[in-house]
Amino acid sequence: MLFTIAGEKKEYEEGITLDNLIMKEEIDNPEYVTVTINDEFIDKEAFGTTVINEGDAVEFLYFMGGGAN
């Protein structure tokens, strides 16, 4: 099954869930990652039940922030 991650085509098995994809893509610090699929933001609580489909466009966005101290 083909879909895109950050604009690049990737192939994974059918039925892969978002949390499995995060693990297989070896995303560091996943607790700081926001995910969109086809421009829709996915709630963190739904990562384990969200299934990626053929042709989906997945984006991982790291939280960006900091402080002066």
Three-state secondary structure string covering 21-40? HHHHCCCCCHHHEEEEECCE
Q: How far is the CB of 32 from another protein (least distance, A)?
A: 6
Q: Does 14 bind another protein (CB under 8 A)?
A: no
Please compute, for residue 48, the number of CA atoms within 13 A of its CA located in the half-sphere on the CB side: 1
Among 2, 24, 32, 48, binds another protein (CB under 8 A): 32
41 is a site residue for another protein (CB under 8 A): yes
61 vs 69: CA distance, rounded Å: 24
Question: Which chain residues interact with another protein by CB under 8 A?
Answer: 7, 28-29, 32, 34, 36, 39, 41, 59, 61-69
